[in-house]
Amino acid sequence: MSRLETLKGPADLKSMSIAELDELAQEIRQAIIAQVQTSGGHLAPNLGVVELTIALHRVFDFAHDRLLFDVGHQCYPHKLITGRRPLLDKLRTRQGMAGFPEPLESSYDLFRVGHAGTGISTAVGLARGDELNGQAYHPRNNPTGRSVVTLIGDASIVNGVAMEGLNNAGTLKRQFLVVLNDNGMSISRPQGAIAGYFDRIRVSHTYADLKKSAHQVLRRLPGGSMIEEAYHRAGEATKALMSEDSWFEKFGLVTAGPIDGHDLPTLIEFLTEVRDIDRPVLLHVKTIKGRGLDVAEKDATKFHSPRPFQVTSADANGCKVKMPSSGRSFTSAFGDALAGLMERDERVVACTAAMPDGTGVAVALDKFPDRTWDVGICESHAMDMMAGLAKTGFKPFFAVYSTFLQRAFDQAFQEVALQGLPVRICLDRAGLVGGDGAVHHGFCDISLLRTLPGGVLLAAIDEPSLVAALQFMADYDEGFSCVRYPRDNVSERLLDQECPPFQLGKARCLTPAHDVHAGARPDAIVLAYGSPAIAALEAVDLLDDEYTVAVYDARFAKPVDDAVVQAALHAGCPVLTVEDHTTIGGFGSAVLERASELGLDTSALTRLGLPDQWILQDSRAAQLAEVGLDASGIARSIRDAVDRARPKHVGTAVVETRLSRPSERTV
Catalytic residues: 289, 379, 407
Task: Return d(Cα 470, Cα 466) in angstroms, integer.
Answer: 6
CA-based nearest residue to 51, from 28, 84, 17, 79:
28
The Cα–Cα gap between 431 and 580 comes to: 5
Q: What is the largest CA-CA distance in the chain?
A: 100
Burial label, 461 (beta-carbon count in 10 A; 0-12, 13-18, 19+) = buried
CA dihedral 371, 375, 378, 382 (to 10 degrees): -10
Please tell me the distance from the alpha carbon of residue 178 to that of residue 315, in angstroms, as a whole number. 41
Element housing 383 (H / E): helix 379-391
Distance, in Å, from the CA atom of 116 to the CA atom of 118, rounded to the nearest integer, reads 6
| Whole-angstrom distance, CA of residue 68 vs CA of residue 60 | 13
CA 305 – CA 570 distance, rounded (Å): 49
**Distance between CA atoms of 427 and 404, rounded to whole angstroms?**
9
Q: How far is CA 430 from CA 220, 282, 582, in A?
A: 48, 36, 11
Reported as type and span, the H/E element at residue 626 is helix 620-626
Q: What is the DSSP string of 244-293?
A: TT-GGGGGT-EEEEEEETT-HHHHHHHHHHHHT-SSEEEEEEE--TTTT-
What are residue 254's DSSP bridge partners?
A: 281
Identify the H or E element spanning 366: helix 362-367
Q: For strands 280-286 and 254-260, give the pairing.
A: parallel
Beta-ladder partners of 176? 280
Q: What is the C-alpha to C-alpha distance for residues 85 and 77, in angstroms, rounded to an integer? A: 10
Decide: helix, strand or coil at residue 182. strand
> b vs e for 214-240, b when ≥16 Cβ sit within 10 Å of the residue's Cβ?
beebbeebebeeebbebbebbbebbbe
Residue type, 73: H
End-to-end CA distance of the chain: 45
Rounded to the nearest 10°, the torsion over CA 185, 191, 196, 202 is 0
- Cβ-contact 18, 69 below 8 angstroms: no
Give the integer Cα–Cα distance in Å for 589 and 608.
Answer: 10
CB 584 within 8 A of CB 551: no
